[in-house]
Amino acid sequence: MTGYLLRRILLALPLLLGVATIIFALIHLIPGDPVEVMLGAGAGAADVAELRHRLGLDHPLLEQYVEFMGRLVRGDLGVSLRYHDPIAGLLLERAPATCALALASLGIALLLAIPGAVGAALNPGGRVEWMTSLGAVLALSIPTFWLGPLLILLFAIRLDWLPTSGFDTPAALVLPAVTLALPMAGLLTRLIRAALLEQTGALYLRAARARGLSPGAAMTRHALRNALAPVMTVIGLQLGSLLTGAILTETVFAWPGLGRLLVQAIATRDYPVVQGSVLLIAATYVVTNLAVDLLHGALDPRTAS
Amino acid sequence: MTTPRGPRVLRLGLLLLLILTVAAAAAPWLAPYPPNAQDLAHRLEGPDRSHPLGRDDLGRDVLSRSIWGTRTSLGTGILVVLISASFGVLAGASAGLAGGALDALLVATIDLLLSFPGVLLAIALVAVLGPRWINLIVALCAIGWVAYARLARSSAMRLRQLEFVEAARAVGATLPRLLARHLLPNLLGPVIVQASLGLGGVIMAEAGLSFLGLGVPPPTPSWGSILRAGTQNLMDAPHLTIVPGGAILLAVLGAQLLGEGLRARLDPRGDLDPGP
């Protein structure tokens, strides 16, 4: 078990290094002179030279790379061109809003997916299965950046039940979280249903039925538990689309999270902030998947061997 | 994978995509106005008899722009899928057949690309390269080819162990010959399923990037950029939001249904990726 833990963690390290290398390379992919692009057309030569020096872009490439990695290890992501604040601080300030949004969405997605999947698995080929399948494919096809504005039009403007945007009250979380949850719910419904159907022939289910449990109770108390372990790995992988979906959802709802920070940084050509937020999102993704794998290994020791 | 499945799903998906393809091809004849004709005196006006879907923030006809936008969205989607599938299959198949260092390199590249969630890498690439159509294609292909490469690689590795392949190699069959004669014919079915599922993902990604202002630059109409203007004027002009989003929904739904329908026929075991 310890060997598995160690091996899995050691495998994640080169990935993180690779991610950081791509982030480093981003700024050198800017066509033309990155410093002139950042400052805009009207910048004077002195300003350009000063910023080039400040970003370390006047050093040889290899030296820049070593310097970048060194600063990264110390948690130093540089300074925002627009806010003039350390980027690590900006990211920390915005991270809680994105975490709240992602967790609330995950919760809503599971609440929507589990009953649908159980209902569908209880009666394969029945009406419930047909309806959940239709709902799932629709949920997977709806663009979040369309669903969001539609929900605003209905619940915030027409009915005036919920705020359109902002972060001030818990009610403000409802619309963005539902918007972000729907595609995830569609995917999870399919997955959990398929995982449940794999369990249907299992002996422990027949034993549970023989002890007098109803089909529904046997399904939720026994099959669901076994089905959720593999589903968890997928949830880890899906966290990625949740985080990128958050970029769009935060833009729709003016939600003050990492995604909005990234989009604003792109619009203002604040490339150090672009690098920092992409790095944080990608690193979170890698680490979460590592954690999910380890958890899976702990829950189901067969995977660890 | 899921019901509703079978030929009905396949037909509905095909029908949706066919309608959109016809709209894209016949845009110059279908659209009542030129897509970029501005009329600032009537900006954001709602639907009326001469402009059934209303006008946008520059007074342009939303119906005409949505029809022309079909070209952008569907065209970009199909192009990206074609490039990603060709490159991915070639890379995955040759690495899988050759093994060794080439294969190790491919696996490392795939793992690295997969450590960026979803379209984040595409967003970052367009952000630095600049919002141009060619950059959009490059960015979407950069993340899109991975699914095809994995598919082709696993298929190639299965094939490599079969006796007839060993026999073919023993009598001197070269790698390109193995690829063309034995691997590609077997891969065609799964790749077609993957491509139609992937088309939905690419259309959604293109619309999302355009929505963020990172897609095709203005004034070229795209569903995502119409939605962008719609969200910015949501209170004054809800008509600007409703139609282009519906078009994206139909396109993605069509691709999904087509993919599911094809999968039920071609890949009953269901071991394919849904794409970006």
Minimal C-alpha gap between B115 and chain A (Å): 6
Q: Tell me which residue in A18, A23, A149 faces B234 most closely, judged by beta carbons.
A: A149
Question: What is the C-alpha separation between A49 and A53, in angstroms, rounded?
Answer: 6
- CA–CA min distance B187, chain A (Å): 25
Question: pLDDT grade, residue B253 (50/70/90)?
Answer: very high
Mean pLDDT of A211-239: 76
Residue-wise pLDDT for A138-163, tens only, equals 888 999 889 988 888 888 777 777 77
b/e per residue A38-67 (b: at least 16 CB within 10 A): bbeeeeeeeeeeebbeebeeeeeeeebbee
pTM of the predicted protein model: 0.87
Q: Output the pLDDT for position B5.
A: 52
Q: What is the mean pLDDT of chain B?
A: 83
Q: What pLDDT is attached to residue B1? A: 41
* A41 touching B (Cβ < 8 Å): no
Binning pLDDT at 50, 70 and 90, where does residue B269 land? low
Q: Would you state the pLDDT for residue B199?
A: 93
3-state secondary structure (DSSP) of residue A86? strand
Taking CA A285 as the corner, what is the angle to CA A79 and CA B275, rounded to the nearest 5 degrees?
A: 120
Rounded to an integer, the average pLDDT of B235-241 is 77
| Euclidean distance between CA atoms B20 and B76, whole angstroms | 13
Is B246's CB within 8 Å of A146's CB?
A: yes
How does residue A71 score in pLDDT terms, banded at 50, 70 and 90? confident
Please, are residues A289 and B117 in contact by the beta-carbon 8 Å criterion?
no
Q: Tell me the average pLDDT of chain A.
A: 82
Q: Quickly state the pLDDT bin for B273 (edges 50, 70, 90).
A: very low
| Chain-chain contact of B213 with A262 (C-beta, under 8 angstroms) | no
CB contact under 8 A, B129 and A278: no
With CA atoms as reference, the chain B residue closest to A236 would be B117
The residue that leads in pLDDT, B4 or B124, is: B124
- A108 has pLDDT over 90: yes
What are the distances in angstroms from CA B50 to CA A247, B45, B222, B229?
Answer: 37, 11, 22, 21
**CB nearest B3 (choices: A30, A133, A286):** A133
Percent of chain A with pLDDT over 90: 9
One-letter amino acid at A118 equals: V
Distance (Å, whole) CA B43 – CA B60: 7
Mean pLDDT of A262-273: 88
User: Tokens in use for B159?
Assistant: 């094939």
Contacts of residue B211 in chain A, CB cutoff 8 Å?
A: 143, 145, 248, 251
CA distance A235 to A296: 12
pLDDT in tens, A177-205: 999 999 889 988 888 888 777 777 777 77
A27 interaction partners in chain B (CB closer than 8 Å): 128
How large is the ipTM?
0.86
| Segment B194-221, tens digit of pLDDT | 898 899 999 999 999 999 988 888 888 8
The shortest CB-CB distance from B118 to any of A18, A240, A286 is to A240
